[in-house]
Amino acid sequence: MASTSQRAGRTLVAFFVVTAVVFGLVALAGSWTPKLGLDLQGGTRITLIARDGDNSSANLEEARRIIDSRVNGSGVSEAEVTTQGNRFIVVEIPGETRRDLVDTVKRQAQLRFRVVAQSGAGTAAPSSSGTQSPGPSGLPSEPVITVAPTPTAEASPSSKNRPPFRAGDQKNPQEPGPSLAPTNLPAETETPSESPSASPSPSGEASTPPEGAGAGDPLQWMLNPDPESVAAFNAFSCPAPGAAPDVEDVSDQPLVTCDENGIKYLLSESLIEGSDLSSADLLSPNGQNIEFGVQLAFNRAGTDEFSRISEALVGTQRQFAIVLDGEVISAPTMDARISNGQAQITGDFTETEAQSLTTSLKFGALPIQFQADPPVETVGPSLAGNQLSAGLTAGAAGLLLVMLYCLLYYRGLGLVVLSSLVVAAALTYAFVLLLSETAGFTLSLPGIAGLIVAVGITADSFVVFFERIRDEMRDGKSMRVAVESGWVRARNTCLAADAVSLLAAVVLYIFAAGVVKGFAFALGLSTLIDLAVLFWFTHPMVSYLAGFTFFSSGHKLSGLSDETLGVDVVPAQRVSVGGRA
């Protein structure tokens, strides 16, 4: 018997140590208030307006699903994504305006790889004063794309003592680095003065087509673009620095566009599509990487085409462009043949910017083109403060009634119910805080409802356990024996009941959307905490209390007296068991 109490005591000590660790993690996170949902604190509303074209209801719904996957990538941020009519998608994000989520929503995530026929300073390029200094050929040196090549004999001599392909990683624009010179620049286009002779000869000069490039191949078109495309390039002006160019990116047509620094490009038709990406992962600084970025991996078709491009461009100082949503994010040269299909997009990314780009690429491109610069507005909470207070007051009143009933009915054992509910509430709050910081969990009114519903599930587990104990004691067993035998019978019932609740929460979480996901998540979290408290707090606590005479002797206030159990005592036939007469 003593060993049972000792085991129960050790279990309780271990449980409280784990609880202390959880609250220690909360203290390290530095926040003691959960993030609230859109209905409780307001947030940001973004209205995406589809351009005229193929904006069928099926495409609009597919775009809504992709955007919902992006902003609710963790599944618990409770951003609401809805369609309105046949042109609008409305995204409502809880909390203060988050630039990374706004950019994630607005991004089309249309990634394409094209080769550069011509490049030069756009008419709206920033002046040299107060702006980023250009690279050695007049083009900015970042962001960049880094490709991890398979070493081959075709790598140029310039790759010695540095990675065979690393474009634009120099930070001082005066330091030597891979060439990003303008190519095939017409005479009437202004050439940056920093590199007046860096570009190859004009397009009219005869050039040998890359090996494997046939008629109509973009690699051959790159050497001698058609006059219409050249005229469009000469007439194009870039927008102000930082603004995305308003261009239509069609995969099978040449493209004239800019990068964020005001450099314009004449690009071939697309050679590799974003659909040829097999994965996109966040690249974090470590022993090999010094900055945030995106790790890309191509499928078989993308790898083969990328290998062909690199073989054609290696050593020529010609550029290829990585185009995201019609904007050039990098235009490096090729110093080696790349055959493994592995690439890294890096640059002056913050962690949130790199994560936003990774999320957009991972969840795919939108099937509909939306208008540039969608309206972004701040919205207030949809629930008034008195409504929230009324809901919380009702929940607190219900919890208080449950506690009073348990005290009146179970008396001394009711204290175990009270302490179990307090411990469960404390753990639930701690995990809500941790998930708010680590997974972006936001607490909305449906989520609060899920937590309150779980209180009934938790109390039900205690009732099942205590009633099993009382049944065993009615059969004449002592409390110590009744606790263990009753536990064996009660735990299967409790596991079955909690499994049903957990299954319902999982089904809702998978198939529901928006705030219903928050309700399901809160319900599932509370159910798991209920199981933890029941197994590692309530059961060992009752086992520990069984060693006290107050409970084992059947005191009137213990909740286990003969009168409370409904047992008719016949003194002449009663056998003393466990100290009870």
pLDDT in tens, 188-202: 333 333 333 333 333
Are 84 and 122 found together in one domain?
no
Both 140 and 275 in one domain: the answer is yes
DSSP assignment of 510-561, as one string?
Answer: HH--THHHHHHHHHHHHHHHHHHHIIIIIHHHHHHHTTSHHHHTT-TTTT-S
Q: Are residues 25 and 47 in the same domain?
A: no
Please report the pLDDT score of residue 149 as a whole number.
40
Q: Do 190 and 234 sit in the same domain of this protein? A: yes
Q: Which of 52, 85, 103 is where one domain is finished? A: 103
Same domain (yes/no): 532, 484: yes
d(CA 461, CA 534): 7
- Burial state string for 496-518 with b = 16 or more CB within 10 A and e = fewer than 16: ebbeebbeebeebbeeeebbebb
Angle subtended by helix axes 412-438 and 385-410, to nearest 10: 150
Q: In this structure, are 311 and 248 located in the same domain?
A: yes
Residue 502 structural domain: 2-33+384-573
What would the pLDDT profile of 527-569 be if each residue is shown by its tens digit? 999 899 999 999 999 998 888 888 878 788 887 777 777 665 5
Is residue 558 domain-shared with residue 428, that is, in the same domain? yes
Model pLDDT, residue 97: 57
Cα distance between residue 475 and residue 68, in whole Å? 58
369 lies in a domain?
no
Domain CATH code at residue 28: 1.20.1640.10
Q: Is residue 136 assigned to a domain? A: yes
Residues in contact with 320: Cβ distance below 8 Å, sequence separation at least 6, in sequence order? 113, 114, 115, 116, 271, 309, 313, 331, 332, 334
From CA 214, how far away is CA 322, in angstroms rounded? Answer: 23
Q: Which among 516, 365, 443, 380 is positioned nearest to 92, based on CA atoms?
A: 380
- CA atoms of 422 and 255, how far apart (whole Å): 64
In a domain, 546, yes or no: yes
- Residues whose CB falls within 8 Å of the CB of residue 339, separated by 6 or more in sequence, listed in order: 149, 150, 152, 303, 307, 310
Report the chain's C-alpha Rg in angstroms: 34
Distances in whole angstroms, Cα of residue 137 to Cα of each of 119, 134, 179, 581: 11, 7, 7, 99
Residue stretches of the chain with pLDDT short of 50: 1, 74, 124-215, 570-581
- CA angle 47/507/74 to nearest 5° reads 45
Which of 334, 387, 397, 393 lies closest to 180, judged by CA? 334
CATH of the domain at 77: 3.30.70.3400
Q: Is the dihedral of CA 235, 240, 241, 245 positive or negative?
A: negative
* pLDDT at res. 70: 76
Q: Is 399 helix (H, G, I), strand (E, B) or coil?
A: helix
- Strand 88-94 relative to strand 111-121: parallel, antiparallel, unpaired? unpaired
Say if 38 falls within a structural domain: no
Are 191 and 95 in the same domain? Answer: no
DSSP 298: E
Do residues 239 and 282 both lie within one domain? yes
579, part of any domain: no
pLDDT recorded at residue 24 = 93
Structural domain total, the chain: 3
d(CA 230, CA 2) in angstroms, rounded, equals 92
Are 24 and 47 in the same domain? no
What local confidence, expressed as pLDDT, does residue 275 receive?
A: 79
Predicted local distance difference test score (pLDDT) of residue 76? 54
In Å, what is the CA distance from 259 to each residue of 122, 156, 164, 270, 388?
A: 10, 28, 25, 17, 48
Residue 363 in any domain: the answer is: no
Is residue 370 one of the residues assigned to a domain? no
Q: Where are the alpha helices (DSSP H) in 339-478?
A: 351-362, 385-410, 412-438, 445-474
The one-character DSSP state at 125 is: P
Q: Do 349 and 490 fall into the same domain?
A: no
Q: Are 244 and 102 in contact (CB under 8 A)?
A: no
Domain shared by 72 and 120, yes or no: no
* 178 occurs within a structural domain: yes
What is the rounded distance in angstroms from the CA atom of residue 450 to the CA atom of residue 467?
Answer: 26
The model's pLDDT over 443-456, given as tens digits with 9 standing for 90+, comes to 888 888 888 888 77
| Torsion over CA: 15, 21, 23, 25 (sign) | negative
